[in-house]
Amino acid sequence: MPPLPPGAGDPHDPRHPHHISTDHGRIHLAAQQRRTDATAVGSLLLHLPNFLGSLFVVGLLSLFLGGLGFLVILLWLASGALIFHRPTESALARHVLRLRYPTPQERAKLEPVWREVTARAGVDGRTYELWVEDSDHLNAVAAAGHIVGVTRFAMDRLPNGELAAVMAHELGHHVGGHAWAGLLGYWYALPGRLAWRLLRGVTTVMYKVSRAFSCFGIAFFGMAVMGLAYVTISSLYGLPLLILGVPYALAAVGRRAELRADQHAAALGFASMLAAVLEKMHQEEQQVQAALTLRNGGVPVARSPLAKLLTSHPDYHTRLHHLQPYLAPQGH
């Protein structure tokens, strides 16, 4: 086996093959800082049935408030703007995503890499806020309008070129509109989701009660469910059936968004670094799978086809395949 090149073992050694220089001159900002690409539009359209279901739920609740009910609906409709409100974003980062502000030492590591990424993209990096997750796993997140978070593992264990690739991927989610579109759709789907969970819980209790009355109770329960389904479908034009398929369609759009973010990072010159990151994530996934297999008595734990359809990220081989045009040597 040939010896490793100098610096290959230390991710922070400037001689590491994936080390990049973060000393750049003047930054040329692109005229268009953000856009809404097809995957963001698709995500918003697919969330429409969820939004209508939530609107129906909020409308029903507003009936109990009399004259103030219409105001409640308007306030709920306007609440989506909070995802671009900086204090609300900070609360989301802390309490939902479990992120924290970087320390001065961590900021000294992150900011030069972030400036290099945004300089290549022609984006004003000051628009976004850098956050850190205390995790020993390789991961990162783009959320709301301005959040870019990386794990402590990614910050401490990756060469700065690979860290730049990770951050460029997350920037791709922001400039493509994926982050805000996904969060906006999730926010407006919440009332419908909560109502659905409540309905499922009530139905489960009703089923358990009906079993106590033997076959007659089960038959009555079945007739009640079918009657409710018929009334709901006929009055809401089949919306409930459409909602059942939305998670699978959203997962497919999410996978497409990941590939677009990969391509964004690759187009900025981070293709080989991103491929190395994907390899590390693949190895980590294999280790987890091996641990599950060992825990299962040596029998591999396979995901069901439906579970695969609900996966929001493409598999390693698919992502690497889409990076090939950027990894192939260019002809002279």
Bridge partners, residue 150, by sequence: 132, 140
User: Residue 297: what are its φ and ψ, rounded to 5°?
Assistant: 75, 25
Q: Closest Cα to residue 179, out of 153, 154, 143, 125?
A: 143
Rounded to a whole number of angstroms, the distance between the first and last alpha carbons of the chain is 31
What does each of the 332 residues of the chain score in pLDDT, given as a tens digit? 445 455 566 788 788 888 888 886 667 788 888 888 999 999 999 998 889 889 988 998 888 887 788 898 999 999 998 888 999 999 999 999 999 999 999 999 999 999 999 999 999 999 999 999 999 999 999 998 999 999 999 999 999 999 999 999 999 999 999 999 999 999 999 998 888 788 777 777 666 666 666 666 556 656 665 665 665 555 555 556 666 778 889 999 999 999 999 999 999 999 999 999 999 999 999 988 888 888 878 787 777 777 788 898 999 999 999 999 999 765 44
Neighbouring residues of 225: CB distance < 8 A, sequence distance ≥ 6: 203
β pairing state of 129-133 and 147-151: parallel
CA 106/CA 88 separation, integer angstroms = 24
